[in-house]
Amino acid sequence: MSAPQITPFGTTTQGQDVARITLHGHGLSVAIITKGATLQSVRLAGVDHDLTLGSESLADYEGVMRHHGSLVAPVVNRFKGATAPIGGKVVTFEANQGGKHTLHCGAAGTQHKVWNVVECSDTAVTLALDLPDGEGNLPGNRHVTACFSLHQGARLRLTVTATTDALTLFNAANHSYWNLDGSASWAGHSLQIAASSYLPTDGDFCVTGEIADVSGTPMDFRRGRKITPADTVLDNNFCLSGGRQDLRDVLWLTGANGLTMTVATTEAGIQLYDARSAQRPNGPFYEGLAIEAQNWPDAPNHASFPSIEMKPGEACVQVTEWRFNRS
């Protein structure tokens, strides 16, 4: 293996040292920081700007950018009413959204933790984290690894693997914001999603339980079209399948500059968020699109949704891949 490039990235307010790992290869330069297993930077050879929204300040990642690029687990997205059944027993979680709902596991989310570097080379890094039984009211001693790797064809792959010693819930997602033009807004990008249905939400952005057909609605991106904040309102899960599948292409985002990012995933859904209330310090809203491959949100509370239960002896493996191409 080549010698990895690991540099200090500061110290958290809790006194933990954070490192940045920079990967190079196959036309990509990618930086990951150990706080939150965060994808900080993605650069494509020949393009003079970053493709994802990051920061050089650890304080930003401990503040308003806590979800920018981070790996959100053990359960991403929302539990309506801050409860969910596990093995038939209803469990209550931190109500960190408006005092009513659970968002991204609250304080127990892996986006707030400093991960350990297990293995590293010029083109791959594996980070690991142990989550103790009962943390955030989720059962099981869980071991989670996140492997970022570069591959031929300007491909960045993230493989998340989790195990548990007790029945629990697990649904992870990378929460990066993307802007392929390096502009102040994602307006003018084109978006295509291979989904014929989506999950409507209520006034608190929690899913209603309905699985709605995209036909004849603004949520129909099957043919692809240009998008702007004025005509595209997004904080929804798009239903790709009824369960985890082999890695397949599901989403295409193309900038006005002709640069395309193809997203492939094993997951049953992909959440898009328009960043209407997310910004970098002194930056604009709507600067980037959050694209989060995951299982369907609030799944335990809806019997018709794909399950996110994880059992002892059965590893959960989630793979997402981003492929970049210039026309």
CB-side neighbour CA atoms (13 Å) of 143: 8
Per-residue pLDDT of the chain (327 residues; tens, 9 = 90+): 456 699 999 999 999 999 999 999 999 999 999 999 999 999 999 999 999 999 999 999 999 999 999 999 999 999 999 999 999 999 999 999 999 999 999 999 999 999 999 999 999 999 999 999 999 999 999 999 999 999 999 999 999 999 999 999 999 999 999 999 999 999 999 999 999 999 999 999 999 999 999 999 999 999 999 999 999 999 999 999 999 999 999 999 999 999 999 999 999 999 999 999 999 999 999 999 999 999 999 999 999 999 999 999 999 999 999 999 997
Instruction: Supply the pLDDT for residue 1.
Output: 43
d(CA 141, CA 131): 6
ω into 297 cis (within 30 of 0): no
CA distance to 69, 109, 221, 232, per residue, from 35 (Å): 10, 12, 34, 32
pTM of structure: 0.97
Residue that is written with structure tokens 């989310």 in the block: 109
d(CA 146, CA 129): 9
Q: Is 106 helix (H, G, I), strand (E, B) or coil?
A: helix
Instruction: Supply the pLDDT for residue 327.
Output: 76
Q: How many residues does the chain have?
A: 327
CA distance to 32, 82, 211, per residue, from 27 (Å): 17, 43, 40
CA distance to 103, 106, 179, 202, 236, per residue, from 221 (Å): 26, 31, 18, 21, 13
Structural domains in the chain, CATH included, are: 5-326 (2.70.98.10)
Q: Token digits for 6? A: 């690991």
